[in-house]
Amino acid sequence: MYHLGMALVEVDGVSKSYPRRAGLRTEMQHVVEDVSLTIGSGETLGLVGESGSGKTTLARMILGLAEPSRGTVRVEGIDVARASRAELRRLRRQMQPVFQDPYAALNPRMNVLQIVTEPWVIHGREAGMARGRSALRAKAVELLGEVGLDESALGRHPHEFSGGQRQRINIARALALRPKLLILDEPVSSLDVSVGAQIVNLLRRLQREHGLTYLFISHSMPLVRYLSTRIAVMERGRLVETGEAVALCANPQEKYTRRLIAATPELPADVA
């Protein structure tokens, strides 16, 4: 049985609503409603649900990119929405996103050296990192090696790489500041199956090597089951079921969860 470590992220009664025009009236659209969950240090929490279920909005609130309408999000005990500017900068060094579209997330005008060292340029002084040209290059080579790319990539631009290689570059950038938490928002859904399997296995290896904590967001229940220690299921903005990954998939309590399991195929053989 999995035992939850010390909570790194605590989401307590969080809701998020946006105003929406409905004819001549303005109505509030409830995107996330009264969600509470925790993410323990070193675990992978899988957040699963169909498009529009509120998964990405919840992730944005954890990252401090959106403020809850109600409730609180705490990371390392700090209320993200009420954090000072200095506290928020420190928290953002500790949590990094990896998004769905690996091309849109990369600046096409920047080469790989500039992309993966950008976090050091922005945060390096606070993080105690050297920012000289040779030091940056050496760290970039080290990061690329961790994600399976070599030094020859440094001078090239995003359009010169395949989708899987671009996602490896995104992951390298996310690791630059040695964060505690990666928020992985559908990181393989735009890749073909075999390439996605390689990225999934890379993520598992990196977690073992660096003791990372993951929030892994996906619509694929088999993928979430494979990567996650625990699973949280969202439907139309609400958290409908949570549990240990193996137990929840073997004996789902909610009809919606059973539908998600039935709707998504098993993982390919090269995910191992």
User: Looking at residue 22, what is its pLDDT?
Assistant: 74
Beta-bridge mates of residue 97: 183
Report the topology of domain 7-102+179-263. Rossmann fold (3.40.50)
**CA 53/CA 267 separation, integer angstroms:** 23
Residue ranges covered by each domain of the chain: 7-102+179-263
- Give the model's confidence band at 47: pLDDT under 50 very low, under 70 low, under 90 confident, else very high: very high
Q: pTM for the whole thing? A: 0.89
Range of 137-146, 188-197, 218-227 with top mean pLDDT: 137-146
- Give the model's confidence band at 184: pLDDT under 50 very low, under 70 low, under 90 confident, else very high: very high
pLDDT at 131 over 90: no
